[in-house]
Amino acid sequence: MSLDQFQVLKAGIESQPALRNEFELAFAALASKHHPSERAERFVFGGICEWLLAITAWKAGVRALPAGHGQNGFDLMQFRDAMQGLWSLKSSASRVLSGSINLRNNASSTSKGTGAVYDKPTIFMGPYLPGITYVDFKVATSMAAAIVYDKDAAKLKTKAVLDYAIAHPDLVIPVKLSAVKTASEVDANLKIVAKILESGTYPLLKPTVELLQDYTLEIKYLRKQHDEGIISDENFQKKLLEMELK
């Protein structure tokens, strides 16, 4: 069923250039704001990629939801786990091959034991690939054999996924993904909080979050000057104290 649904997704995207274009633009926009190079954004990035794929899948003819799908509708009793019955998604913001992909983190997995086999049909997507790539580890035995199991996770080299995508174009939906991080000196966690508190419904907290954003920018600037020897230890401490008096 998961391969059939992937083929529906593939046909739906390839037959609708506007849909493919919107998917590419949305991925780039979301990745720029929630780039996983920021520790605080890593789980956010994975989650928004699931939703983006699900929304695109609906327009392509596949009724899918993150954490829940049903071929003939939605099974609310299985809402939390059913998406995994269709596809597991492994998304990346990298455009170059680097290291491995964690297929399963053993610490958070319900599959106990470091040797538990990973065999879920999996979709891989990211700038390092020629498109959205489907792998069924029960069929692709060479890929299954390439999985490394250790005490922390089940891992697969990114190069193995790329090589598989190139060798199996029928299992790839050609899209061009990009993920360029938006330049910002504000702490990632503070940015997440600020998005909420600056919405206009927090009159007491909003001015403070704005002040702290200004502080973090100024502190980073002063620290950079101090590290480069432009200002002395004494002047660095003095300027920090002046900030506290505001």
Residue 131 confidence (pLDDT): 97
Report the C-alpha gap between 130 and 46 in whole angstroms: 19
Region 108-120: mean pLDDT is 66
What is the mean pLDDT of the segment spanning 43-59?
Answer: 86
DSSP state letters, 39-92:
GGGHHHHHHHHHHHHHHHHHHHT--EETTEE-TTS--GGGTTTHHHHH-EEEE-
Measured CA angle at 182 (ends 175, 211), to 5 deg = 150
Residue 71: pLDDT band (50, 70, 90) is very low
- Measured at the alpha carbon of residue 149, what is the angle toward residues 145 and 150, in degrees to the nearest 5? 155
Q: Judge whether residue 245 has pLDDT over 90.
A: no
Range picked from 18-32, 34-48, 111-125, 217-231 for highest mean pLDDT: 18-32
Which pLDDT score, from 0 to 100, does residue 195 have?
76
Give pLDDT, residue 238. Answer: 83
- Residue 176 in tokens: 């061009």
* 3-state secondary structure at position 114: coil
73 in the Ramachandran plot: left (φ > 0), alpha (ψ -120 to 50) or beta? left
pLDDT at 75 over 50: no
Q: Which one has a higher pLDDT value, 185 or 205?
A: 205
State residue 130's pLDDT score: 96
- What average pLDDT does range 8-24 have in this prediction? 95
What mean pLDDT is predicted for residues 120-133?
A: 94
Q: Is the C-alpha dihedral spanning 65, 66, 70, 76 positive or negative?
A: negative
CA distance 237 to 29: 39
Q: What are the beta bridge partners of residue 88?
A: 122
C-alpha to C-alpha distances, 155 to 17, 19, 38, 141, 164, nearest whole angstrom: 34, 32, 21, 15, 16
For range 225-239, the mean pLDDT: 86
Mean pLDDT over the full length of the chain? 81
Is the pLDDT assigned to residue 232 strictly greater than 70?
Answer: yes
Q: Token pair for residue 24?
A: 């590419």
Among 21-25, 72-76, 124-128, 221-225, which is the least confidently predicted range? 72-76
More confident residue, 46 or 137: 137
Percent residues over pLDDT 70 in the chain: 83
User: Which pLDDT tens digit goes with each residue over 201-220?
Assistant: 888 788 877 777 777 778 87
At 76-100, the pLDDT tens digits run 223 344 445 578 899 999 888 778 9
pLDDT computed for residue 126 by the predictor: 94
